[in-house]
Amino acid sequence: MSDTRTAPDATLYRLSLYHCYLSELIRVGAPARITSRAIAEELDIKEETVRRDISFVGDIGRPGAGYEPEVLFKEFTRFLGLSEEYPIVKIGSAAMLAALEVVFPPDRYGVKPAAYFSELPEDAGTVIGGITVQHITELPDLNPALGIEVALVACSPSWVQVALDLLGQTGVKGVLLLTPAVRVVRPEGMSISQIRMPCDIKSLACKCAASPGAVGAR
């Protein structure tokens, strides 16, 4: 059976997308079976791509009969190395951390915040979702028993590099960076995925202006 080391990054990303889609489907009431064609149509991906991606996970279901959503979801969970409540650490102001609880509710997305840190001294001691916020300088004391390998960083730009360096000391291997820092130095052994919203908005604005029929187009 294949494992994550044999799957291309693009495949791993799409498998994560399928995992999220099935999570939502199961939450609202999934059908008894679902086909690769149905997944492809819902996510606007070629059917053959979906089938090829699933083949990396293993021999699941029967040709032409589709898959049991719950079984497929569990197999994706196993293949991606996740758990029912995958522990992560989040870094940002208390206001940002509270907002992230609303945008990414743990009970819906299968990731469980295990520790919160803020760059603002006045945030220390604030309780969000039952977790006490600590100051970012306490990151090196993160309990290894929590088993945290992934962090979500949404602190102010001036604290991004500090956060990354401190996370590197704790053994965190992956970071989703939401702060629009243009340049960061990646700690050795760490993978960083970054969303640069200002840049993405500018790119989108350019695409809209260049599209036929766009408002103001000449």
Q: Does 115 score more than 70 pLDDT?
A: yes
In a domain, 136, yes or no: yes
Question: What is the predicted pLDDT for the residue at 2?
Answer: 44
Cβ burial of 105 (10 Å; 0-12, 13-18, 19+) is exposed
Question: What is the predicted pLDDT for the residue at 218?
Answer: 39
One domain for residues 34 and 135: no
Question: What is the predicted pLDDT for the residue at 96?
Answer: 95
* Structural domain containing residue 165: 86-200
73-94: pLDDT as tens digits: 989 988 887 776 789 999 999 9
| pTM as predicted | 0.73
In a domain, 145, yes or no: yes
Question: What is the predicted pLDDT for the residue at 107?
Answer: 65
In a domain, 217, yes or no: no
d(CA 19, CA 69): 10
Question: What is the predicted pLDDT for the residue at 181?
Answer: 79
CATH number of the domain at 176, please: 3.40.50.720
Domain count for the chain, please give it: 2
Q: Does 182 score more than 90 pLDDT?
A: no
pLDDT band at 66 (very low <50, low <70, confident <90, very high): confident
Q: Which of 25, 59, 79 is the last residue of a domain?
A: 79
pLDDT band at 44 (very low <50, low <70, confident <90, very high): very high
Question: What is the predicted pLDDT for the residue at 7?
Answer: 84
One domain for residues 157 and 103: yes
How many Cβ atoms sit within 10 Å of the Cβ of residue 23?
17
One domain for residues 97 and 190: yes
One domain for residues 39 and 10: yes
If one compares 81 and 109, the residue with the highest pLDDT of the two is 81
2 near 57, Cβ under 8 Å?
Answer: yes
Question: What is the predicted pLDDT for the residue at 1?
Answer: 38
155-173: pLDDT as tens digits: 999 999 999 999 999 999 9
Averaged pLDDT for residues 199-215: 75
One domain for residues 62 and 24: yes
Question: What is the predicted pLDDT for the residue at 116?
Answer: 97
Return the ∠ at Cα 87 (arms to 69 and 159), rounded to 5°: 130
In a domain, 30, yes or no: yes
Give the chain's mean pLDDT: 87
Q: Which of 79, 96, 128 is the last residue of a domain?
A: 79
One domain for residues 75 and 91: no
* Two structure tokens written together for 19: 């995992």
In a domain, 120, yes or no: yes
CATH number of the domain at 61, please: 1.10.10.10
String of DSSP letters for 10-73: HHHHHHHHHHHHHHHHHHH---S-B-HHHHHHHHT--HHHHHHHHHHH-S-SBTTTBB-HHHHH
Averaged pLDDT for residues 33-60: 92
Strand order across the beta sheet in which 150-153 lies: 127-128, 131-135, 111-118, 86-91, 150-153, 174-177, 191-194
One domain for residues 11 and 94: no
One domain for residues 47 and 151: no
52 near 83, Cβ under 8 Å?
Answer: no
